[in-house]
Amino acid sequence: MTATLLSACPSLRQAFESSSYDADSLLEALGDDAHAALMRSEPVPVRRESQDRGRLGVLIRLFLLVDDIEEFDAAEALSPLSLDDAVATGIVERVEPDRVRALLDIRPLDAGYGTRWILSDLDGSMRRTPTATDHVLGVGQASLSLLRGTPTTQVGDVLDVGTGCGVQAIHAAQYAHTVTGTDISERAMLLAEATCALNGMNIELLRGSWFEPVEGRTFDRIVANPPFVVGRGTIEHSYRDSGIDLDGASRLMIEQAPNYLKLGGTAVILASWIHVSGEDWRARVASWIPDHGVDAWIVQRDVADPALYVGTWLRDGGVDQRDVAGGVLAESWLEHFAEAEVEGIGFGFVYLRKTDLPSDVLAEDLHHAFEDPLGDEAIAYFDRVAWLRENDLAGAVFRLDPATALERVYLPGEDGWNEEVVRVYRGNGPNWQHEIDELGARLLAGMRPNGLALRELVALLASANDLDETDLLVGSVKLITGLFRHGLLAPEGGED
């Protein structure tokens, strides 16, 4: 199948280009509302908007809605690929009477470098079809999150672990000289190869488990959307289940990734971890980082309770726990969590940088919404960590970032407004917020280009408020370290 599918890709690409089956045209044809409905797997608004869109509309209904399409319309939209060849290569199948239906999901994606076409197994939510054990996911919320969370600074070589249909590898090809993708699934390898062929890209694809296919090699960057679902150590679906108990798959990735990074190289990993009764989740994940040689920034984006988590992934696999079999599976999964004292399941990004120094590890929550991509922020974060290692913070002159604002919150009281909260927040990037006290606000107010060093500002503040200078400096260094790590201020002479 693969050879014939690959040979069909040039003609299929011509069909897409001549019909303007690209990301911009798709959005223009559907409009914002119907496009949002498509992302929610709601076909009716999409079907209505695509009806009068000619060949583009046919391709939308064929590959994105999995509608049954009249043979004549499908043949016209797929030309110069003949309908017989499309059937023979497994792209579509004939259904009665005189209609065809897609067997593959092929959708345009623009992740910042123009349209790329991603080829995967069908999204079962559109026709409510069972999810096969070796199902290969396409463009989903997790892959889109990783795209936005991946640094795009130029590098030499990238490793995509668990490449699936090749979404991350195709993206990496735009900022890396060479890209290698690995996956244990034979079907994933087939579809990733077809995705590369459809986009005319040369990406090394190696089949094998985790890092085994690249043993002995190192890379400038590693990206990974592995099967991180926290489960019972079984495999129902290869795209989500690792066969490793609970959060062991995430632990494996985080522990092993540094061994395959070059000095100064970075990794970004989508991961999940359990929240255990009486245990700090941050300490749990931080324990997976070695004491030497790895800087880590662990960002928790969400936490789900066990019932919500199990229900979400059962629906994802096409299982209804209202059915007897589905109920048994849900009960087994939840009982396993109860035995392990799991109170919640966290999800987020793990950023790693390979160093030859003692490790620096920060694990924190980032639950609020933000617009800017997080990936390049991670590079800036590691640069700030390096600066802290190499410089005397107390002796440095700092300036506030132009996007940093001071906010005071007042609530009504018996004698008027009472100030309840003073905070500074960053108006770009991850939109970090830090609550401070009045002394902290005064300290920040004194920071300006070509101004006084932190130690000197603290001395003035201590004198004006009759405070112990040593104690105030200790507290100020702690405050400024946190604000600096989050980019709310910068050292004089450094970049904004």
| pLDDT per position as a tens digit, 21-79 | 999 999 999 999 999 998 888 999 999 999 989 999 999 999 999 999 999 999 999 99
| Residue 141 burial (CB count, 10 A) | 8
| For range 282-296, the mean pLDDT | 96
* Pure H helices in 111-266: 141-149, 167-172, 186-198, 248-256
Judge: domain 141-371, CATH 3.40.50.150. Answer: yes
pLDDT at 127: 64
Q: 182 has which bridge partners?
A: 161, 206
| For range 451-468, the mean pLDDT | 94
| For range 263-290, the mean pLDDT | 95
Contacts of 450 (CB under 8 A, 6+ apart): 397, 492
pLDDT at 182 over 50: yes
The side-by-side arrangement of strands in the sheet containing 99-102 is: 69-70, 99-102, 92-95
Query: Considering the domain 393-491 in this protein, what is its CATH number?
Result: 1.10.10
The SS3 assignment for 361 reads strand
pLDDT at 316 over 80: no
Residue ranges per domain, the chain?
A: 2-103, 141-371, 393-491
Alpha-carbon distance 147 to 156, whole Å? 18
Tokens of 246: 């609970």
Alpha-carbon distance 99 to 70, whole Å? 4
| For range 7-23, the mean pLDDT | 94
Decide which of 54 and 96 is more confident.
54
| pLDDT per position as a tens digit, 222-239 | 999 988 889 888 877 777
Q: Quick check: 38 and 46 in contact, CB under 8 A?
A: yes
To the question of pTM greater than 0.95 for the whole model, the response is no
pLDDT at 486 over 70: yes
Q: Quick check: 303 and 346 in contact, CB under 8 A?
A: yes
| For range 439-448, the mean pLDDT | 93
Alpha-carbon distance 481 to 468, whole Å? 20
- The answer to which of 34-48, 166-180, 285-299, 473-487 has the lowest mean pLDDT is 34-48
State the DSSP H helix or E strand holding residue 424, giving kind and residue range, or none if neither: strand 416-426
| For range 359-378, the mean pLDDT | 92
Alpha-carbon distance 241 to 227, whole Å? 5
Give Dmax (Cα) for the chain: 89
pLDDT at 496: 45
Complete DSSP assignment for 316-357: HTT--TTSHHHHHHHHHHHHHHHHTTEEEEEEEEEEEEEEEE
pLDDT at 494: 54
Work out the pLDDT band at 128, boundaries 50, 70, 90.
low
Alpha-carbon distance 384 to 322, whole Å? 51
% the chain with pLDDT above 70: 97
What's the CA angle centered on 291, arms 285 and 297, to 5 degrees? 45
Rg (CA), the chain: 26
- Mean model confidence pLDDT for the chain: 91
pLDDT at 102 over 90: yes
pLDDT at 328 over 90: no
pLDDT at 372: 83
